[in-house]
Every structure is written in C-alpha cells, then in structure tokens.
Amino acid sequence: MMNIERKPFGKTARGEAVTLFEIRTPELTARILDYGATVQALLVPDKNGKPVDVVLGHDTIEGYETHDGYLGACIGRNGNRIAGAAFTLNGQRFHLTANEGKNQLHGGLCGFDKKLWNYNCRENSVEFTTVLADGEEGYPGRLDVSITFTLTDDNALRIDYRAVSSADTVANFTNHAYFNLNGQGSGDVLGHLLQLNASAYTPADAATLPTGEIAPVDGTCMDFRTAKPIGQDIHDAALAPFRGYDTNLCLDGQGLRKIGQAEGDQTGIVMEVETTLEGVQLYTGNFISDRAGKNGARYASYSGFCLETQHYPDAINQPAFPSPVLRQGEALHETTVYRFCVRK
C-alpha cells in the first residue's frame, strides 16, 4: 500500500512547480520537497505520544529561496568547504565557483539545494534523481545522482546517496536538516544532550577551513564521547570565532554503525544517528538570522543543530584526510539513518 501523498508547494521564482511528498508510517511523518531534496518537516511522537515537528523549515517555497542556511536541503556535489575554490586531481587544476569569499561552500552557487529534482515514489520512500553536467560549478565529470528517503518500520528516516560519474571527480553529499527535538520554534537547543562516538576532530582556522591536522578530542570542548548538554562548552574560547560549534568530528569505526545520539530535554525524544561516512559536521545554527519559521515560529541562533554526515571538509586538498574522490564508473553508495524513540 502506498503511504505517500503528493501536494503542491507553490512555484519557484523561475515558475517551476514544487511538490511536497508526505510519507507516513504509524509513528512518523516526513514531508520532503523536490526542491533541493529538502526535509521540510519530520513529525515524531514525544513522551506523551504527541506528534512533534523536529526540523526547522519554511511554510512556502519563497522562504527557502530567499533565506540562507540550507534548511533541510541535500548538499552536493561537495558538502562543506573547499579552500580557494580549487583543487588538483590527476595532475589537472580545477577552478570552482566561489560562493563564500574565495572559497566554495556546499557545492557552489547552484548546488543540490537549488535544484528541482526528478522523483519516483515507492511504498515508504521517495527517490530523487538529477544529473550534474561535466564542468558544472567547475567540477569534472557528468554526475548521475540518486537520493532516496525512506521511513522504516523501526521509526527511522533513512537517506541513501548514490552516484556514478563519467570522470574522476569529488563527491561528498550530506543533508542539512536542523534538528530541535523539543519541537521547531520551541527555543534554543543548548539544553539537548548530545553524545558522539568521535575520538578526534579536524581543527579549523577562522574561515572554518581545516588546518590539515587530525587532533584528539581529549580535554577539549569537542569531546562528546560522554553525553553532555550542547551548550555546556559553547562559549569555550576555541569556539569564539564561530560563535559555537561548526566542527568536523572524526567518527570512530567503519561501515554503517551508530555514531551517537541526541535527546530533547523537554520532550524526551531521542534521535540515534547511524552512517557509513567517516565524519560529521556538528553545527549549532550559530548564524541563523532572525527569521520567520513554520507555523508562526521565529528562528534565531541556536534554534537547531545539524549533524551533517560527510567526508572531511576540504579533503581533496588535504592529503592526510580520507579521499572524497569518486573514480570514473565507480558506484557511490553512502547511507545515513536518523532513528527516533522516547525516554519516558
């Protein structure tokens, strides 16, 4: 039985019709747009059984087009930053579109987040597909991309990223959902408990570019191996240039495994995270501008937090980091899972 409903979500400034897909299971409801392959809403029961929308977003397509922040969007062809908007691959220098000063952030001026994706609905999933042209945003290779969102029987939102390239290229995909497990619009997330299985991190300069070092978290504000409130160390001097966390943590283990969990301090909602990837960007919404959110909510700094599973930032320019290169003809498949339960 098909558990997906399609609804119109307005038109882009270019006149393209946007569609919202509502996927339902007995416990969860996910609303996902074909614009940006964006998670627009995610309803999860709290400790009293009341549905709570745990992601930040907008009620209209205009909200997504006119505000920054990548709320809920999929990110690519390269998530995070590339220093100098350039890299060398196979002896050839590639110059990318710069969209954050001299650097590139989240794939350039027209990344995954601004595309209207094709779609294919299944019972509890929607597959979004698109093709990036050879040379688009400066990257080599025609890239055929598929991103599938599935609601599972064990109360999880699963995201499967797949791609094939016509030439060696950089491929580093993620999703930029901002979570607030107390409910979007409920205030800040500084009281949320967060635990991450990450014994190291990649220190960054004032432009949030990695220095190339992989450093232990021991004795630093980056240590989340034991659960602590997100806000406990957020005013640490090491975080001052970023106004909070905007940090890549190096995850322990390999393959699809649990990397940590977060818990809303008011609702008892627990979100466990699994991924096949080696890094996760913890971002605490430090630069969310004061803006209208969904259902009359107002958002500001720390209204949500992101756990962006990824290859390490600027990995293509850092020889000590795991490689983000997708070789010609190879099949990329990475998975991230957000699973929900409650602590009563």
To the query of whether residue 272 is one of the catalytic residues in this protein, the response is: no
Could you write out the three-class secondary structure of the chain? CCCEEEEEEEECCCCCEEEEEEEECCCCEEEEECECCEEEEEEEECCCCCEEECECCCCCHHHHHHCCCCCCCEECCECCEEHHHEEEECCEEEECCCCECCEEECCCCCCHHHCECEEEECCCEEEEEEEECCCHHHCCCCEEEEEEEEECCCCEEEEEEEEEECCCEECECEECCCECCCCCCCCCCCCCEEEECEEEECCECCCCCECCCCEECCCCCCCCCCCEECCCCCCCHHHHHHCCCEEEEEECCCCCEEEEEEECCCCCEEEEEEECCCEEEEECCCCCCCEECHHHCEECCCCCEEEEEECCCCHHHCCCCCCCEECCCCEEEEEEEEEEEECC
Contacts of 219 (CB under 8 A, 6+ apart): none
From the list 106, 136, 137, 176, the catalytic residue is 176
**Of residues 305, 291, 186, the one with CA closest to residue 245:** 305
To the query of whether residue 106 is one of the catalytic residues in this protein, the response is: no
Contacts of 152 (CB under 8 A, 6+ apart): 25, 124, 158, 337, 339
Cα separation, 94 vs 91, whole angstroms: 10
From the list 137, 308, 311, 334, the catalytic residue is 308
Which residues are known to be catalytic? 176, 308
